[in-house]
Amino acid sequence: MKIVVCVSHVPDTATKINVGSDGKTIDQNGVTYVVNPYDEFAIEEALKTKEKSGGEVVIVSVGTDKNKDTIRKALAMGADSAVLLKDENYRDSFAVAKALAEEIKAQDARIIFFGKQSVDYDNSITGQMTAEMLGYNCVTVVVRLEIDGDKVTAEREIEGGKEVVETSLPVVITAQKGLNEPRYASLKGIMQAKKKKIEEKDAAAADNNLEIVKMFKPAPKAPGKIVGEDVSAVPELVRLLREEAKVI
Amino acid sequence: MGKVLVFVEQRNNVVKKASYEAVTAAKKFGEVEAVCTGANVEGLDALAGYGATKVTHLKSADFENYTPSGYAKAFADYAKDSGAEVVLFSNTAMGKDLAPRVAVKLNAGLAVDVVSFNGDGVEATAVRPVYAGKALVEVKVNSAVKVYTLRPNTFAAETDGSKGDVNVVEVSDVDLGSKVVEIKKSEGKLDVAEADVIVSGGRGLKGPEHFNLVEALADSLGAAVGASRAVVDAGWRPHSEQVGQTGKTVSPSLYVAVGISGAIQHLAGMRSSKYIVAINKDKDAPIFQVADYGIVADAFEILPELTNEIKKIKAE
Ligand SMILES: Cc1cc2nc3c(=O)[nH]c(=O)nc-3n(C[C@H](O)[C@H](O)[C@H](O)COP(=O)(O)OP(=O)(O)OC[C@H]3O[C@@H](n4cnc5c(N)ncnc54)[C@H](O)[C@@H]3O)c2cc1C
Ligand SMILES: Nc1ncnc2c1ncn2[C@@H]1O[C@H](COP(=O)(O)O)[C@@H](O)[C@H]1O
């Protein structure tokens, strides 16, 4: 049985973001890319699922040759093989999901892991879209997962608590922090990853239906007021919150 | 002017505040129909006052609890038949879960976490934060049907107080491919994702035993308690309280950061708060760059005093 993990290649969260010269995307200068943090939870859960029930973990990523760095890291954690679905052009989530859905079908995978969100566009939609295109079940923002035969029980985070969702295979799970502790790649894993094959093919054709008109930086906030440097500032702070900000 | 459908979210048969915001915001697209999936939802008649010319209750006993497959199918089927050109959700746990499924069913483009629209009618473009709020993009959805999710606490909810009729549609063939069988509430506390006031603590609190000071201030303000990742990773506070890039994104009216340095990943989750107060003993802490009001001092001295002052005011 194949277990697919979809991983995206994103700027490190500590990166300073500047708008590029096209006015629509970020300036790539000095930007370092990493495995999307939530996808690490997805990879870990896939490896655990394999350890428990057997199978083969396949990494799938849509993008350019640059995604190979991220794919190698996933392989170093212990995934068995990888597929890079190539497209040099920008794809919106709908188009990414189309490519992923085609590949998942071809792999005949019945358990598919995503991260809950890519920390670039912060969409949180690709997993659900892919599941819907495949007609598979889907549970998002999962912090606990149990798969028993065809039966799936997953806990997802909601406002003020958690929902326990029951569903069945085939299923798409989007991983939230808390689901597990992602393992570090061992030296052996890193060495082996170099030898593992990354299959490359063109991503299935798809149209974007989201067009970026422009990208811009948020207006800088007016400098705030330092109300004081000891307890004597407290009454003034309370007054400001009440009379100026009117929030209490 | 087009036709716009708003997915109205309910929990325990009560309509969520974010849905009133979405109905009010929907008016700019044209004629608004508010549609709620649920078992016996109360107060739907009030949606008329917010601007819905039609209110529909997609009703089934199977809708008592959330079912991702069931809600998505019933709502998308209804949306298809209604001929809506624009469909709005709130960017909540449920809205985020449903909107992409519905978008695919409607073959529609989706823009999430929208904080404003430029222009009116179906041609309006949407503005939304990306890269954790370090940048914004203006996007145009080019498909025939357009789906958006709106960031909660960002659009105003306005009603003239009027009430209207509720069109009840019984749904018979609910798709229960996935369904919620249990809800585990976090012990009686207010959730940061929904709170209008948040008091967050960071590593400056020195240890979990000192969070009672943060809790006391939060109690006096009727606020939720939030936390930085440093204290969540240290096990002082649960992850559900984490604010930031890998925690929750919040936009309350008031956010009080105590002993939090203001790392870029923390700011990502709270910088769109209306007012930010920072209490930190380091005057160079980056949190002061986004704070409206700051006190540069020891949190252990400030917190008890601030709690007392707030209590006094609230007692007036
Ligand atoms: C991929 C990634 C994702 C991340 N996601 C998040 C996230 O979602 N949320 C998040 O918060 N962080 C996140 N971080 C971590 C972030 O970079 C910071 O490490 C973290 O926010 C620091 O927490 P802190 O402000 O509590 O601690 P510190 O940075 O240690 O700051 C403590 C502050 O307390 C002040 N202080 C000390 N004593 C006192 C006192 N007695 N009174 C008043 N002030 C005092 C100090 O001056 C200091 O400014 C992420 C990091 C990475 C790499
Ligand atoms: N280009 C991509 N290739 C493979 N997987 C992706 C890609 N983009 C997004 N994903 C997956 O979809 C999840 C959610 O991404 P998003 O909807 O963009 O926030 C990510 O955590 C990945 O698991």
pLDDT at B187 over 80: no
Q: Is residue A100 part of a domain?
A: yes
Task: Check residue B316 and give its pLDDT.
Answer: 83
What number does the ligand 1 atom closest to the CA of B279 have?
43
The interface predicted TM-score (ipTM) is: 0.92
Task: Check residue B193 and give its pLDDT.
Answer: 87
**For residue B255, how far is its CA from the centre of ligand 1 (angstroms)?**
15
Query: Which residues fall within 8 angstroms of residue A16, CB to CB, at 6 or more apart?
Result: A30, B134
> Of B182, B131, B141, B202, which Cα lies nearest the Cα of A165?
B182
Question: Residue of the nearest CA to atom 17 in ligand 1?
Answer: B263
**pLDDT confidence bin for A221, thresholds 50/70/90:** confident
pLDDT at B68 over 70: yes
Using a pLDDT cut of 70, give the percent of chain B over it.
99
Looking at the structure, tell me whether residues B6 and B151 fall in a common domain: yes
Q: Is residue B277 part of a domain?
A: yes
Task: Check residue B6 and give its pLDDT.
Answer: 98
Q: Is residue B275 part of a domain?
A: yes
B143 contacts on A by Cβ (under 8 Å) = 209
Tell if the CB–CB gap between B239 and A178 is shorter than 8 Å.
yes
The reply to whether ligand 2 has any atom less than 6 angstroms from the CB of A127 is yes
Whether chain A has a CB inside 8 Å of the CB on B115: the answer is: no
Whether chain A has a CB inside 8 Å of the CB on B265: the answer is: yes
**For residue A238, how far is its CA from the centre of ligand 2 (angstroms)?**
44
pLDDT at B189 over 80: no
How distant is the Cα of A33 from the closest Cα of chain B, in angstroms?
13
Looking at the structure, tell me whether residues B157 and B12 fall in a common domain: yes
Question: Which one-letter amino acid corresponds to residue B219?
Answer: D
Tell if the CB–CB gap between A163 and B104 is shorter than 8 Å.
no
pLDDT one-digit tens code per residue, B18-34: 999 999 999 999 999 99
Tell if the CB–CB gap between B254 and A241 is shorter than 8 Å.
yes
The CATH number assigned to the domain holding A103 equals 3.40.50.620
The reply to whether ligand 2 has any atom less than 6 angstroms from the CB of A176 is no
Task: Check residue B1 and give its pLDDT.
Answer: 67
Tell if the CB–CB gap between A209 and B143 is shorter than 8 Å.
yes
pLDDT one-digit tens code per residue, B87-99: 999 999 999 999 9
Q: Under the phi-then-psi rule, with left for phi > 0, alpha for psi from -120 to 50, and beta for the rest, what region is A160?
A: left
CA distance A104 to A135: 12
Q: Is residue A213 part of a domain?
A: no
Looking at the structure, tell me whether residues B37 and B164 fall in a common domain: yes
The reply to whether ligand 2 has any atom less than 6 angstroms from the CB of A45 is no
The CATH number assigned to the domain holding B297 equals 3.40.50.1220
pLDDT at A52 over 70: yes
pLDDT at A128 over 80: yes
pLDDT at B188 over 80: no
pLDDT at B48 over 90: yes
Q: Is residue A194 part of a domain?
A: yes
Final residue belonging to a domain, choices B170, B187, B209: B170
> Of B245, B236, B149, B42, which Cα lies nearest the Cα of A15?
B245
pLDDT one-digit tens code per residue, B220-276: 999 999 999 999 999 999 988 999 998 999 999 999 999 999 999 999 999 989 999
pLDDT at B41 over 70: yes
| Residue A88: count of CB within 10 angstroms of its CB | 8
Residue of B nearest to A171 (CA): B178
Task: Check residue B186 and give its pLDDT.
Answer: 80
Mean pLDDT of B182-189: 82
Mean pLDDT of B56-69: 97
Pair A175, A56: CB distance under 8 Å: no
The reply to whether ligand 1 has any atom less than 6 angstroms from the CB of B261 is yes
Looking at the structure, tell me whether residues B95 and B47 fall in a common domain: yes
Mean pLDDT of B271-289: 96
**pLDDT confidence bin for B194, thresholds 50/70/90:** confident
In the block, residue with structure tokens 């709005």: B88
> Of B146, B56, B152, which Cα lies nearest the Cα of B113?
B152
Query: Which residues fall within 8 angstroms of residue B113, CB to CB, at 6 or more apart?
Result: A122, B91, B128, B129, B149, B150, B151
Length of chain A: 248
Average pLDDT, chain A: 96
How distant is the Cα of B39 from the closest Cα of chain A, in angstroms?
18
pLDDT one-digit tens code per residue, A150-169: 999 999 999 989 999 999 99
Number of domain units in chain A: 1
Average pLDDT, chain B: 96
Q: Is residue A215 part of a domain?
A: no
CA distance B146 to B122: 8
Q: Under the phi-then-psi rule, with left for phi > 0, alpha for psi from -120 to 50, and beta for the rest, what region is B303?
A: alpha
Which residue of B113, B177, B191 is in closest CB contact with A160? Answer: B191
Task: Check residue A45 and give its pLDDT.
Answer: 98
What number does the ligand 1 atom closest to the CA of A14 have?
53
CA distance B269 to A150: 37
Task: Check residue A220 and give its pLDDT.
Answer: 83
Which residue of B221, B291, B297 is in closest CB contact with A230? Answer: B297
Q: Is residue B98 part of a domain?
A: yes
Looking at the structure, tell me whether residues B47 and B156 fall in a common domain: yes
pTM beyond 0.90: yes
Final residue belonging to a domain, choices B104, B135, B170: B170
CA distance B249 to B253: 13
Whether chain B has a CB inside 8 Å of the CB on A190: the answer is: no
B186 contacts on A by Cβ (under 8 Å) = 160-162
Q: Is residue B67 part of a domain?
A: yes
Looking at the structure, tell me whether residues B8 and B122 fall in a common domain: yes
Please state the three-class secondary structure of A132-191 as a single string.
Answer: HHHCCEEEEEEEEEEEECCEEEEEEEECCEEEEEEEECCEEEEECCCCCCCCCCCHHHHH
Q: Dig out the tokens for B14 from the structure.
A: 């009560």
Q: Is residue A236 part of a domain?
A: no
Q: Is the peptide bond before B304 cis (omega within 30 degrees of 0)?
A: no
Looking at the structure, tell me whether residues B33 and B150 fall in a common domain: yes
Closest ligand to C-alpha of residue B248 is 1
**For residue B133, how far is its CA from the centre of ligand 1 (angstroms)?**
18
Pair B216, A176: CB distance under 8 Å: no
CA distance A222 to A46: 46
Number of domain units in chain B: 2
Phi, psi torsion values for B313, nearest 5 degrees: -65, -45
In the block, residue with structure tokens 């002017």: B1
Q: Is residue B184 part of a domain?
A: no
CA distance A168 to A56: 20
Mean pLDDT of B161-166: 97
The CATH number assigned to the domain holding B106 equals 3.40.50.620
Give me the domain span that covers residue B17: 2-170
Looking at the structure, tell me whether residues B13 and B149 fall in a common domain: yes
Length of chain B: 316
CA distance A127 to A124: 8
CA distance B224 to A58: 41
- Rounded to a whole number of angstroms, the distance between the first and last alpha carbons of chain B is 49
Looking at the structure, tell me whether residues B273 and B210 fall in a common domain: yes
Whether chain B has a CB inside 8 Å of the CB on A237: the answer is: yes
Query: Per DSSP, what are the bridge partners of residue B37?
Result: B58
Tell if the CB–CB gap between B135 and A19 is shorter than 8 Å.
yes
Q: Is residue B182 part of a domain?
A: no
Task: Check residue A101 and give its pLDDT.
Answer: 98
The reply to whether ligand 2 has any atom less than 6 angstroms from the CB of A180 is no
Q: Is residue A241 part of a domain?
A: no
Tell if the CB–CB gap between A238 and B276 is shorter than 8 Å.
no
CA distance B57 to B10: 11
Pair A110, A167: CB distance under 8 Å: no
Give me the domain span that covers residue A163: 2-202
DSSP line for chain A: -EEEEE--EEE-TTPPP-B-TTSSSB--TTPPEEE-HHHHHHHHHHHHHHHHH--EEEEEEEE-TTHHHHHHHHHHHT--EEEEEE-SS---HHHHHHHHHHHHHHHT-SEEEEES--TTT----HHHHHHHHHT-EEEEEEEEEEEETTEEEEEEEETTEEEEEEEESSEEEEE-TTS--PPPPPHHHHHHHHHS-EEEEEPPP----EEEEEEEPPPPPPP-EEEESSGGGHHHHHHIIIIIS---
Question: Residue of the nearest CA to atom 22 in ligand 1?
Answer: B230
Q: Under the phi-then-psi rule, with left for phi > 0, alpha for psi from -120 to 50, and beta for the rest, what region is A197?
A: beta
Q: Is residue A211 part of a domain?
A: no
pLDDT at B152 over 70: yes
DSSP line for chain B: -EEEEEEEPEETTEE-HHHHHHHHHHGGGEEEEEEEEESS-B-GGGHHHHT-SEEEEEE-GGGSS--HHHHHHHHHHHHHHHT-SEEEEESSHHHHHHHHHHHHHTT-EEEEEE-EEESSSTT-EEEEEEGGGTEEEEEEE-SSSEEEEE-TTTSPP---S-----EEEE--S---SSEEEEEEE-TTPPPTTT-SEEEEE-GGG-SGGGHHHHHHHHHHHTPEEEE-HHHHHTTSS-GGGBBSTTSB----SEEEEES----HHHHHHHTT-SEEEEEES-TT-THHHH-SEEEES-HHHHHHHHHHHHHHHHH-
Query: Would you give the distance in Å from CA A145 to the centre of its chain?
Result: 17
**pLDDT confidence bin for A82, thresholds 50/70/90:** very high
Mean pLDDT of A210-220: 94
Task: Check residue A15 and give its pLDDT.
Answer: 87
